[in-house]
């Protein structure tokens, strides 16, 4: 007989005990936190028509889509690489007539065509919240605060919030530091790498102070205000500073005003969530616009968490005592134990052994007895 294969596609894996259960518990904790702030859950489908999905990607990489042909409609489908754009579709169509601001939450797997070295998984859990109909400082402050609270509810400590201004280079390039359209992306790339030499070689020396305006929030903000000599960025800097003030003491605060990776469709404000002992971001958020059918746009602000690293590290796991139920056990006693939080494992034959099945106790009469 041929041995069954356990080979899975690259970037995919099974979630086994206890990680699968920990993932469900962590997901529930985060969603309960969002619900407590009035965010109602929606569940969009895993696949949509490719053309409809790509129209709403707003800078997202279309080459990252997994595509297939629908045998019923013969149209090309795409598996979602991100759920935010789907929430935007729902808000603009099915829930277009709901009062604003509209608070929505979501959770589900997203799939990508390719993986990276730091994130080899092509399928990962995304949990988030979107506040639609406003992107004011008050709305943004709520989103950042709720994101921190959701991570704390999941057991995370040592949280850092790194703020950014995704459209900063566009504003400067169209105003005091003009750049040819073709050069804007190159300047962004050099700033992302903090490459002063690259900016010098391009003749974009006016952007050099932005490299220094990075780091602990207060110092970086002071340097950014000094850089903004003509006050062009005043209202945006004030807004980001006010958001930071609203969460001061809840997390460490840093500022990287030119960070663009992961913020392809955000506009005036963005933030990344980090935590001690974890490499890479646990989530991102910020302000953006949702396209409407009439060509207009609607302001929104939100965040997404990617909790797989937390799950792999044991967050969400809960130890519960497990009791072995021998053949002929008292069913009423077993039901009462389950109602108080015990896990029961019932014997199916005389061969079943409590310790072999991972039990710490055995039911003796109507009482649990330690092994």
**How confident is the model over 228-249, as pLDDT tens digits?**
988 999 999 999 999 999 999 9
Q: What is the pLDDT of residue 260?
A: 87
**127 DSSP β-pair partners:** 107, 305
Q: What is the pLDDT of residue 319?
A: 72
Q: What is the pLDDT of residue 196?
A: 94
Q: What is the pLDDT of residue 1?
A: 67
Positions of the chain with pLDDT under 70: 1, 58-61, 117-118
pTM of the model: 0.91
Q: What is the pLDDT of residue 207?
A: 95
Q: What is the pLDDT of residue 64?
A: 80
Q: What is the pLDDT of residue 316?
A: 84
Tens digits of per-residue pLDDT, 18-52?
Answer: 889 999 999 999 999 999 999 999 999 999 999 98
Q: What is the pLDDT of residue 275?
A: 96
Q: Within 10 A of 168 (CB to CB), how many other CB atoms are there? A: 21
Q: What is the pLDDT of residue 87?
A: 96
Q: What is the pLDDT of residue 230?
A: 86
Q: What is the pLDDT of residue 4?
A: 87
Q: Edge-to-edge strand order for the sheet containing 270-275?
A: 40-41, 102-111, 123-132, 297-305, 283-291, 270-275, 159-164, 252-255, 215-216
Q: What is the pLDDT of residue 292?
A: 86
């Amino acid at each position: 007989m041929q041995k069954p294969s356990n080979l899975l596609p690259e970037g995919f894996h099974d979630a086994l005990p206890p990680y699968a259960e920990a993932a469900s518990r962590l997901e529930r904790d985060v969603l309960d936190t969002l619900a407590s702030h009035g965010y109602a859950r929606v569940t969009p489908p895993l696949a949509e028509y490719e053309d409809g999905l790509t129209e709403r990607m707003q800078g997202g990489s279309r080459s990252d889509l997994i595509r297939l042909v629908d045998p019923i409609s013969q149209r090309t489908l795409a598996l979602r690489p991100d759920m935010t754009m789907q929430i935007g579709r729902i808000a603009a169509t099915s829930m277009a007539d709901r009062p604003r601001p509209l608070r929505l939450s979501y959770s589900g797997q997203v799939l990508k065509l390719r993986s990276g070295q730091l994130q080899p998984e092509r399928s990962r859990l995304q949990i988030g919240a979107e506040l639609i109909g406003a992107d004011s400082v008050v709305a943004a402050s709520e989103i950042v605060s709720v994101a921190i609270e959701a991570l704390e509810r999941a057991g995370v400590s040592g949280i850092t919030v790194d703020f950014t201004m995704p459209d900063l280079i566009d504003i400067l390039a169209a105003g005091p530091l003009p750049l040819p359209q073709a050069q804007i992306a190159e300047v962004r790339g050099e700033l992302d790498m903090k490459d002063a030499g690259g900016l010098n070689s391009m003749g974009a020396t006016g952007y050099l102070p932005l490299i220094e305006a990075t780091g602990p929030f207060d110092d970086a903000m002071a340097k950014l205000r000094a850089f903004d000599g003509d006050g062009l960025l005043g209202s945006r800097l004030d807004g980001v500073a006010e958001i930071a003030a609203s969460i001061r003491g809840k997390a460490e605060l840093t500022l990287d005003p030119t960070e663009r990776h992961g913020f392809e469709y955000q506009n005036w404000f963005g933030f990344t969530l980090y935590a001690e002992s974890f490499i890479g971001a646990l989530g991102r958020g910020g302000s953006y616009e949702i396209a409407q059918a009439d060509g207009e746009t609607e302001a929104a602000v939100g965040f997404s968490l990617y909790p797989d690293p937390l799950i792999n590290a044991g967050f969400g796991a809960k130890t519960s005592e497990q009791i072995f139920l021998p053949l002929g056990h008292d069913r009423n006693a077993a039901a009462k134990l389950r109602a108080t939080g015990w896990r029961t494992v019932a014997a199916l034959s005389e061969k079943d052994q409590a310790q072999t099945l991972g039990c710490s106790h055995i039911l003796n009469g109507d009482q649990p007895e330690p092994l």
